[in-house]
Structure 1
Amino acid sequence: MMNLIAKQELEHDRLQTARQWLREAFVLLSHPPGHAQVDFGQCIGFIGGVRTVMHVFCIDLPHSDAPFVKAYPAETTEAFLDGHVSAFAFFGGVPLSILYDNTKLAAARILGDGQRTRTRAFTELISHYLFRGRFGRLGKGNDKGKVEGLVKYTQRRFMTPLPHAASFDALNAALEARCLARQDEHSGRHEETIGERLLRDLAALRVLPAGPFEPCEKKPARVSSTALVRYRMNDYSVPAHLCLPGRIGQRFRRSGAGRGRG
């Protein structure tokens, strides 16, 4: 009986040792200047007096913890692209690399070897600004823990109590002011302010390209005899000359902006 108990205790010790070896370990990361992380978060607010679910584009520079956030009515390709354009303008430069989760706005497919096939819109964005797009591991949100923290910070501090604004433009102007004010504060255990550390980030950023980037989703569309094209179940007017004889039914590229009838 004693031998059986001893064997059970020995087996228990072995299992405990094995569990300790298999336990996931973490180390504090050191973030060099000039890199970024991006994610979307959801918040509630009032736009024009209407309770609205807002999709907030968040970008964080991990070296300095400098944030930029911008709210949109939906998490679309246009919002994804416009968020980058607005963030680059806010910081006055382009990060060397940006880390993402596996959002379908950027990764069209995840291949068997873990490689990602980028969406056309994301490829155009990278080609214009020349930064390196990186993706975190599947199911590992801690890979981009800085921007995950920014999403929570935005929900708790920027969007609490629930914001009231006349329009998304007015709300985003207020959010930009909050991001600027955040630069005078400290984060973590750093003695320097976010703004003081941001200077090293800014020095490492790429120069903005000379030409603008149009943040839109490009889709082929057919022009009807009434000078309309359909996009996302809505009809949009186009110049009348596009529906001249011989051009009706011709395919045209549409950016997703315009006046809808639907």
Structure 2
Amino acid sequence: LSYVDKQTGEIIPVEVFVSILPNSQYTYVQVCASQKKEDLIQCCTNALHFYGGVPLAVVSDNLKSAVSRSSKYEAQINRSFKDFASHYGCVVNPTRAYSPQDKALVENAVHLVYQRIYYPIRDMTFFSLEELNQEIQTRLVHYNQLLFQRKEASRVELFQSVERQYLKPLPCISYQIKDYTRA
């Protein structure tokens, strides 16, 4: 996905953040400027507010903005992401490198999001990140309300009836990212 800068006419590519709850497959999608830790943490914060609660664990991809040192057995989470998890009272479990089976639900959700959200808007022109996110949120509401083929419920209905009760309440104050430097 991308948007057009009004001043220069330059096409600016964006990164797509996808979050999913495991049982209901209730999905959150947002685009951001980059994969930097600030953008990742902001997307995670927005996802938690979208869900209206905090799960016990966040399973993140093994990307550089979340993990400072990758490992086959136990990756080292970077300090800012640890602070984020501590603020919201959850743990971060990064997936193993080169193990797509660890995140099969999200990989499937990404595939479905591309089919149901990306393809319909791929020919549309957006002039800001906010416009693009607004269109995605409009289509995301419809996507989460679609009925599953083998279940007689939608993602929203399953979330409301099953998963919502397992989420911890959000803290009163949103997380503010800290910068760490070595002097």
TM-score, normalised relative to structure 2:
0.86
Residues 126-182 of structure 1 show CA distances to partners (whole Å, capped at 9, x for unaligned) of 110011211223311121111112222222321224142221112112212222222
Post-superposition offset of 1:219: 4.6
Larger relative strand fraction? 1
Task: With a CA cutoff of 8 Å and minimum separation of 6, indicate the structure with the bigger relative contact order.
Answer: 2
Larger relative helix fraction? 2
Superposition pairs of residues 14-53 of structure 1, within 5 angstroms? 44-48=1-5, 50-53=10-13
Q: Percent same amino acid among aligned pairs?
A: 24
Post-superposition offset of 1:69: 0.8
Letter in 2 for 1:47: V
Letter in 2 for 1:91: Y
Letter in 1 for 2:4: I
Letter in 2 for 1:208: L
Letter in 1 for 2:48: F
Letter in 1 for 2:45: V
Q: What's 1:133 paired with?
A: 92
Q: What's 1:202 paired with?
A: 164
Residues 159-208 of structure 1 show CA distances to partners (whole Å, capped at 9, x for unaligned) of 22414222111211221222222221123522211111011221211100
Q: How many residues align?
A: 177
Contact 2:71 2:97 in 1 (8 A): no
Report the aligned-residue RMSD: 2.1
TM-score, normalised relative to structure 1:
0.62
Question: Which structure 1 segments of 5+ residues have no match?
Answer: 1-43, 222-250, 252-262
Post-superposition offset of 1:66: 0.9
Q: 2:82 aligns with which of 97, 116, 123?
A: 123
Question: Which structure 2 segments of 5+ residues have no match?
Answer: none
Q: What's 1:212 paired with?
A: 174
- Taking the aligned partners of 1:206 and 1:126, their CA distance within structure 2 comes to 13
Matched residue SS, 2:14: strand
Post-superposition offset of 1:56: 0.8
Post-superposition offset of 1:46: 2.7
- Runs of 4+ that moved beyond 4 A: none
Residues 128 and 171 of structure 1, relative CA distance in 2, 3 Å threshold = same
Contact 2:70 2:97 in 1 (8 A): no
Q: What's 1:39 paired with?
A: none
- Taking the aligned partners of 2:149 and 2:20, their CA distance within structure 1 comes to 14
User: Which of these two proteins has the greater Rg computed from alpha carbons?
Assistant: 1
Residues 220 and 135 of structure 1, relative CA distance in 2, 3 Å threshold = closer
Matched residue SS, 2:93: strand
